């Protein structure tokens, strides 16, 4: 998933300080928090307010104050996902997400100390940049496979975490996506080298047509020297990849190149 137009601000927006956690600002009202975060809702949703550990599915557009865009999930219609209070994010985002509900659309302005600070981020976000984000909360999911796995990693081994997830009586009610399985696999790999492969394999049982998981599995298999299995996984990834977006085409090319290299071994 790689990091496009800034939503026009509502005219006649007023400025206010934060009232209470239970108070919903008026549509278009600019709220300034003690940290300096500014936000205003351009759409007030009727969904639930997320609790810590809930998974938020959202679209996001990020721009510099001059309007230059550096990130847009709408370009390829690839929403991103965030576990409230658990995933590591910039300060302004972590604070702002405490105020949203399902269906909201909110504009957040973050000074550098709430974003990427003196270092900036890559070539697109210069040092000391104030950033403007347009977030739309598409869904709030209290039940998610990634949360079950993360809790399991904290309590025991990856095998135990996967077993716990498989044993859920309401497994199908838990939200799952290729993105969240990728996230869980990275966590497992940091916990113990080689465990990421187990998470990808489990994810494929839930999402057998997710080419991203097959590609992740292939990378893991390559690392442990399972050449024949890696080739098969890469081939499956290429077959399932719709190759519609630039990212998908690039990933298919990467997989094809990987297959060629593996066949030389």
pLDDT of the chain, 265 residues: tens digit per residue: 333 333 222 222 333 333 334 578 999 999 999 999 999 999 999 999 999 999 999 999 999 999 999 999 999 889 999 999 999 999 999 999 999 999 999 999 999 999 999 999 999 999 999 999 999 999 999 999 999 999 999 999 999 999 999 999 999 999 999 999 999 999 999 999 999 999 999 999 999 999 999 999 999 999 999 999 999 999 999 999 999 998 999 999 999 999 999 999 8
Phi-psi sector, 201: left (phi>0), alpha (psi -120 to 50), beta: alpha
Q: What is the pLDDT of residue 10?
A: 26
pTM (2 d.p.)? 0.83
Length of the chain: 265
Answer CATH for 15-141 from 3.30.1490.190, 3.40.640.10, 3.10.50.40, 1.20.1420.30: 3.10.50.40
CA–CA separation, 114 vs 119, rounded Å? 12
Whether 203 and 148 have beta carbons less than 8 Å apart is answered as no
- CATH class for domain 145-263? mainly alpha
Whether 81 and 67 have beta carbons less than 8 Å apart is answered as no
Instruction: Indicate if 145-263 has the same CATH topology as 15-141.
Output: no
CA–CA separation, 163 vs 93, rounded Å? 33
Taking the alpha carbons of 209, 210, 215, 218 in that order, is the dihedral positive or negative? negative
Q: What is the pLDDT of residue 23?
A: 79
Q: In the chain, where are the structural domains located? A: 15-141, 145-263
Q: What is the pLDDT of residue 22?
A: 58
Phi, psi for 54 (deg, rounded to 5): -70, 150
Whether 164 and 152 have beta carbons less than 8 Å apart is answered as yes
CA nearest to 178, candidates 257, 249, 237: 237
């Amino acid at each position: 998933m790689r990091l496009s137009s800034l939503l026009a601000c509502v005219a006649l927006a007023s400025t206010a300080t934060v009232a209470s956690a239970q108070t919903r600002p008026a549509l278009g009202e600019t709220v300034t928090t003690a940290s300096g975060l500014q936000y205003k809702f351009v759409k007030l949703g009727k969904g639930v307010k997320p609790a810590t550990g809930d998974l938020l599915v959202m679209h996001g557009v990020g721009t510099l104050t001059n309007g230059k865009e550096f990130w847009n999930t709408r370009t390829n219609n690839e929403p991103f996902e965030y576990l409230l209070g658990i995933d590591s994010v910039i300060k302004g985002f972590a604070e702002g997400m405490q105020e949203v509900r399902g269906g909201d659309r909110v504009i957040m302005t973050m000074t550098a100390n709430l974003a990427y600070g003196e270092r900036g981020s890559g070539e697109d976000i210069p040092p000391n940049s104030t950033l403007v984000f347009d977030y739309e909360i598409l869904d709030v999911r209290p039940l998610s496979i990634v949360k079950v796995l993360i809790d399991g990693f904290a309590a025991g081994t990856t095998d135990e975490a996967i077993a716990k997830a498989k044993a859920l009586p309401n497994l199908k009610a838990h939200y799952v996506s290729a993105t969240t399985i990728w996230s869980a696999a990275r966590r497992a790999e940091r916990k113990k080298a080689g465990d990421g492969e187990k998470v990808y394999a489990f994810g494929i049982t839930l999402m057998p047509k997710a080419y991203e998981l097959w590609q992740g599995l292939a990378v893991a298999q390559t690392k442990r020297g399972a050449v024949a299995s890696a080739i098969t996984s890469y081939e499956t990834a290429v077959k399932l990849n719709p190759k519609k977006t630039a990212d998908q085409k690039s990933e298919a090319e990467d997989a094809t190149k990987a297959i060629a290299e593996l066949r030389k071994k």
